[in-house]
Structure 1
């Protein structure tokens, strides 16, 4: 099975879901963009998405491509965001999407699991400096891009984490027997 993407706008509980899937025994890959923001913010001339989105997108492409290659080594693996997300963020910022990003966006599981931002859990911080309304705009841009890339968007209902894990396993017809 190709790597499975869990994505959606910020503040949707994606990372909690990914971590719980990892606890259940599935190989998981953390959100590289958040890690890159944390790393780059420590550098004097760090490349941050709100200052240089195109430059940050190039950094993400490298890391996310490596993640996809590592995820392919497992029968089932989950990614917290993936290369198509780069296209969504570039689209949302009205920036051109280079063909390299479109080509690299292929090769994932055909169903993409989307978590919608939830106001009750949304936290604005140094790594997520925008208001909840912008998180919803990002979410909608991501849905559109994934659909345009030919992926089936599957919305993961907002419910307990255990119920979300059951939903994911049922939707993909898998069970943690790894």
Structure 2
């Protein structure tokens, strides 16, 4: 299996169950890479920084790109499948969503650091959506984020696989079935 085929992305809007799903896959023994944005927000809050989605969005996007590229590099050392909680194209989607220009390095990163063609996308799920200290978006913003991810991953020639609105164990089983069929 090629490196690209081993690198699996789960994307979508906030509050759609991505991280919960990825945690369930990790509990089954899968290798996972964390979402960059949440960690950056936590770090920026601790240090009083402004690289936040509600402060300096461009700097926040640059930090996410750097973190996502580091995750991609680190994952190269692992054997077997690696599931990413968002991928480098998410940064481009975020910039589009914010009405910010996409710098050429972000475009280059998305072109050079490719993932498995099948990308799992979590649709908006109002029944489970909840905000928290790092997730301040409304459900409408979560839906707009989902649409931005559909757009960017499609334009980058990925095949989107919508995640079913099912309990986490059934969602994880769905992902594993799709991955098994594609190998």
Determine if contact 1:2/1:107 at 8 Å carries over to the other structure: no
* 1:86 and 2:91 correspond: yes
More helix by share: 2
Q: Which residue of 2 aligns with 1:47?
A: 51
Output the aligned Cα RMSD.
1.2
> Take 2:46 and 2:154, find their aligned partners in 1: how far apart are those partners?
35
Q: Which residue of 1 aligns with 2:177?
A: 170
> Take 1:2 and 1:26, find their aligned partners in 2: how far apart are those partners?
11
- For residue 117 of structure 1, report the CA deviation from its aligned partner: 2.0
Determine if contact 1:2/1:72 at 8 Å carries over to the other structure: no
How far does the alpha carbon of each residue in 1:23-64 deviate from its partner, in whole angstroms, 9 at most, with x for none? Answer: 001101111210110110112233112211110111111111
Spell out structure 1 runs of 4+ moving beyond 2 A. none
Determine if contact 2:11/2:86 at 8 Å carries over to the other structure: yes
Q: Which runs of 5+ in 1 are unaligned?
A: none
Aligned residues: 174
> Take 1:23 and 1:44, find their aligned partners in 2: how far apart are those partners?
33
> Take 1:92 and 1:68, find their aligned partners in 2: how far apart are those partners?
23
Q: Which residue of 2 aligns with 1:115?
A: 122
Q: Secondary structure at the match of 1:4?
A: strand
5 Å matches for 1:127-146?
127-146=134-153
Q: Which residue of 1 aligns with 2:23?
A: 19
* 1:65 and 2:72 correspond: no
Q: Which runs of 5+ in 2 are unaligned?
A: none
- For residue 100 of structure 1, report the CA deviation from its aligned partner: 1.2
